[in-house]
Amino acid sequence: MKTKLIQIIYDMRTQPVIAWVTVIGTALSIFLIMTVVMMQQVGIMSFAPESHRDRMLYGMFLHKQSLENENDNRSAGLSYESAKKLYGELDGVEEISYQYTDLDRYDAKGTTGGKFTVDTRQTDDGFWRVFDHKLLDGRYYDADEVAAKRRVAVLSEATARKLFGGENAVGQHFELDHNDYEVIGVVANSSILASMAYGEVFVPADYDKEWTTGMGPFMAAMLIKEGVKFDDIRRQVKTRYAEYDSEIKSEGMKTVYHESPFDQEVINTGHRGSNITPDTSSSRMMRYIIYAILLIVPAINLSSMLHSRLRRRVSEIGVRRAFGCTRARIITDIVAENLVVTVVGGMIGFALGIVFAQCYDGLYTDPTGTAARPALSMLLNWRIIGIAFGSCFILNIISAAVPAWQAGRLNPVEAINAK
Partner 1 sequence: MSLIELNGISKVYRTKEIETTALENVNLSVEQGEFLSIMGPSGCGKSTLLNIIGLLDKPTEGTVRLIDTDCNRLGDNAMSHFRNTNLGFVFQSFHLIPSLDVASNVELPLAYRGGMSAAERRERVDEVLERLGISHRKKHFPTQLSGGQCQRVAIARAIVGRPSIVLADEPTGNLDSKMGAEVMSLLHSLNADDGITIVMVTHNEAQAQQTDRIVRFFDGRVIS
Cβ proximity to partner 1, 177 vs 316, nearer residue: 316
Counted residue by residue, the chain has a size of 419
The distance of closest approach from Cβ of residue 312 to partner 1 in the complex, given in angstroms and rounded to an integer, is 10
**What are the distances in angstroms from CA 338 to CA 18, 144, 237, 371, 390?**
13, 64, 52, 38, 14
**What are the distances in angstroms from CA 129 to CA 124, 141, 222, 370?**
10, 11, 10, 26
The distance of closest approach from Cβ of residue 323 to partner 1 in the complex, given in angstroms and rounded to an integer, is 4
The distance of closest approach from Cβ of residue 24 to partner 1 in the complex, given in angstroms and rounded to an integer, is 22
Cβ proximity to partner 1, 3 vs 282, nearer residue: 3
Handedness of CA 154, 159, 161, 167 (dihedral sign): negative
121: left (phi over 0), alpha (psi -120 to 50) or beta: beta
Residues of this chain that bind partner 1 (CB under 8 A) = 3, 6-7, 10-11, 14, 315-316, 318-329, 411-413, 416
Cβ proximity to partner 1, 270 vs 412, nearer residue: 412
Pair 11, 305: CB distance under 8 Å: no
Cβ proximity to partner 1, 326 vs 358, nearer residue: 326
The distance of closest approach from Cβ of residue 26 to partner 1 in the complex, given in angstroms and rounded to an integer, is 21
- 85 CB-near residues (< 8 Å, 6+ apart): 240, 243, 244, 247
The distance of closest approach from Cβ of residue 21 to partner 1 in the complex, given in angstroms and rounded to an integer, is 19
Cβ proximity to partner 1, 11 vs 263, nearer residue: 11
Q: Are strands 179-187 and 152-156 parallel, antiparallel or unpaired?
A: parallel
**Distance in angstroms (rounded) separating the CA atoms of residues 378 and 364:** 12
In the DSSP assignment, the letter for residue 249 is G
Pair 169, 137: CB distance under 8 Å: yes
The distance of closest approach from Cβ of residue 2 to partner 1 in the complex, given in angstroms and rounded to an integer, is 10
Cβ proximity to partner 1, 176 vs 410, nearer residue: 410
The distance of closest approach from Cβ of residue 405 to partner 1 in the complex, given in angstroms and rounded to an integer, is 14
Cβ proximity to partner 1, 277 vs 411, nearer residue: 411
